[in-house]
Amino acid sequence: MIDLILQNFRMHVALSEQEAALVTSAFQYRKVRKNQLLVEPPYPANTEHFIVSGCLRIYYLDSDGVAHNIAFGVEGWWLTDLQSFFTGNASKYHVEALEDSEVFIITKERWEDLLIQIPSLNIYFRKLYQNSIIAQNDRLLNMISTKADERYLRFIKKYPTLENRLPQYHIASYLGVTPVFLSKIKARLSSKH
Amino acid sequence: MIDLILQNFRMHVALSEQEAALVTSAFQYRKVRKNQLLVEPPYPANTEHFIVSGCLRIYYLDSDGVAHNIAFGVEGWWLTDLQSFFTGNASKYHVEALEDSEVFIITKERWEDLLIQIPSLNIYFRKLYQNSIIAQNDRLLNMISTKADERYLRFIKKYPTLENRLPQYHIASYLGVTPVFLSKIKARLSSKH
């Protein structure tokens, strides 16, 4: 299954057999159960996660105990609290499995080693982070300027497989609306089409 | 003045004299006047900007004509609409000089060439984008969970030189409050200290 990661890397950079072996040994395969946490404040997020199957979410728990879903991750995506992973500071987000999932885990230390051993991976991660910036940017613009109906349509476009896999309250939390308001949005949109 | 960029690169990667010459020839020095636009929708942002002096802002103009300041850039910072720069799609943001400023400009094409000619720059840009992700992340968390007083304190910490350089309405727009509300925040905070 590590082939999934290798394929991902090779979409952007060439890897020799020796380099592929380094990659393989740097990651650890792990099954995670639904509701299990991979990142939990205030511990630093010292691992990055490549999702092989299932679904993870990253969320922020505010001081009133309300969870705000920041993003979901599905097959082929990376998910961790990047801020904590990069800085080593306390994580501010929880990363949790929403379904039984399979991930490849790499520690910060192995990740840094890997980038030194295989410098071309800097190209892959530069591009990955470019995409991350684009996605975060959309998220910020969404919150500043977009009506909830539009946010819902963008959610469906961004995560085409999740609409029927997740409880509605998780989607509502991602959109920043109540579950009741989300049903109204869906009713309104389905009456339009 | 290109030395500022070279210093910046050399904080993260070693550059030979030949590579430094490539960098120097890839960037173009430019003075920009206050209010001048460097990125303007719907044109794609096909240039990235390294700020030598002055101050730029990146803002989003919503459908009601209200400008939302997303970020400021000062000496030593990069600023462009990265989403448009990476994808080549229409820019969604304006990048404007808030003061007479000096920048080094690089086109997307030259930037891509430079990364091919000097692969180690992928390390620099990977790290730059890591920092960008961290900053955007803070911005998102700010909006989700933080009270305006706290947002103001974070603004001062993030941009220590800007408080007295910018008109208050620009800061208010960054914080997502009205200028009147911003004065109240400042009065409240100064009475506390």
Instruction: Please give the domain boundaries of chain B with CATH numbers for all domains.
Output: 3-120 (2.60.120.10)
Under 8 Å between Cβ of B115 and B125: yes
Interval A56-72: pLDDT, tens: 999 999 888 888 888 89
Q: What is the pLDDT of residues B120-175, one digit of tens each?
A: 999 999 999 999 998 888 778 777 767 788 889 888 988 888 988 899 999 998 88
User: How far apart are the CA of A7 and the nearest CA of chain B, in angstroms?
Assistant: 20
Residue A100 contacts by C-beta under 8 Å, 6 or more apart in sequence? Answer: A31, A32, A33, A34, A54
Separation in Å, CA of A64 to nearest CA in chain B? 10
Q: Taking each helix axis from N to C terminus, what angle separates B148-158 and B179-192, rounded to the nearest 10 degrees?
A: 80
- The rounded distance, in Å, linking the Cα atoms of A2 and A86 is 24
Question: Which of the two residues, B47 and A133, has the higher pLDDT score?
Answer: B47
Residue B164 is classified by DSSP as: T
Do residues B172 and B179 touch, judged by C-beta distance below 8 A?
A: yes
- B122: nearest CB among A68, A83, A123: A123
CB B31 within 8 A of CB B102: yes
Interface membership of A125 toward B (CB under 8 Å): yes
| Rounded Cα–Cα distance for residues B84 and B44 (Å) | 6
Beta sheet of A94-97, edge-to-edge order: A37-39, A94-97, A56-61, A67-73
For residue A145, the model assigns a pLDDT of 67
Instruction: Please state the pTM of the whole predicted model.
Output: 0.84
The owner of tokens 């082929």 is A76
Cβ contact (<8 Å) for B144 and A82? no
What's the whole-number mean pLDDT along residues A167-172? 91
Question: What distance in Å separates the CA atoms of residue A183 and residue B54, rounded to the nearest whole number?
Answer: 49
What confidence tens digit (pLDDT) does each residue in A130-161 have? 999 988 887 787 777 677 888 898 889 888 88
Interface of A with B in 133-162 (CB under 8 A): 133-134, 136-141, 143-145
Q: CA A190, CA A184: separation in Å to the nearest integer?
A: 10
CB pair distance less than 8 Å for B141 and A82? no
A189 touches chain B (CB under 8 A): no
Beta carbons of B123 and A123 less than 8 Å apart = no
Distance CA A174, CA A156 (A): 12
pLDDT at residue B145, rounded to an integer: 67
Q: Report whether pLDDT(A95) > 80.
A: yes
C-alpha distance from B45 to closest chain A C-alpha (Å): 13
Is the Cβ–Cβ distance between A134 and A173 less than 8 Å? no
